Amino acid sequence: MILGGGYTAGPSLHGPKLASLAAADERANALGQPGSTAMKRIVILISGRGSNMRSIVQACESENWPARVAAVISNRADAAGLAFAEQHGIATAVVEHKAFAGREAFDAALAQAIDGHAPDVVVLAGFMRILGAECVRRYEGRMLNIHPSLLPAFPGLHTHRRAIEAGCKISGATVHFVTPALDHGPIVLQAAVPVLPADDEDALSKRVLAKEHVIYPRAVRWFIEGQLRTERGVVTQVLGEPQLVS
């Protein structure tokens, strides 16, 4: 399970809620501003094979981003993606969640591992742990996640099964900023995938994953190159590139 979250924008916003939203927007917009020559640092969190992590690493290298993947961190020592990272000369670390008595202790150890690499952006790529609100806020405006549905539809688990059972004709994936509510962060980029009459959960999952490998590197690059603007919880691609892929 992964965390997302968002703010409700509109006329009803006022007082502390509006101030919190504005502060989050400022943090997001202050990061990755265009014109910076500094090499940005990316830390990626995984729990398994890390296929989205691989697509980001490969895109960063082949497209010559002004960035590098500084580290790949997992909560599982047997995560297959760690070997891929090591083969590409990327630092790796394991923070086993089972070694800690509770979420707060795990979050603190994970944050220490992340901060050791001074990331400009933290990318959740199949990281199957729920992070506490304090940990999420630590990286507010600079933590991205991908979720296998067209949010806000079907947050949480078993998204493909639920989409098929609901009779959806279209599904997809969403890249979003992470905030403390589950899978409801400001949306950066989405990919739409048709749900075919013969689809089962596995068939739909494979087609959505293929789109994830396209949109996640693109969204991370936009962030790195300062091409995202957030206002009242709504993310805009400042160069006008499409934020929906089909």
Residue 121, strand partner residues: 42
What is the rounded CA–CA span in Å between residue 136 and residue 180? 6
Alpha helices in 95-200 (DSSP H): 103-115, 133-138, 159-165
DSSP 48-117: SS-HHHHHHHHHHHHTT-SEEEEEEEES-TT-THHHHHHHTT-EEEE--GGGSSSHHHHHHHHHHHHHTT
**Active-site entry in 14, 97, 147, 184:** 147
Q: Which two tokens stand for residue 56?
A: 């980001």
Q: Which two tokens stand for residue 51?
A: 């296929």
CA distances from 51 to 22, 45, 62, 237, 241 (A): 34, 12, 16, 25, 25
213 is catalytic: no
Contact 179, 136 (CB under 8 A): yes
Contact 232, 243 (CB under 8 A): no
What is the rounded CA–CA span in Å between residue 199 and residue 11? 41
What is the rounded CA–CA span in Å between residue 161 and residue 201? 5
Strand, helix or coil for residue 184: coil
Active site (catalytic) residues:
147
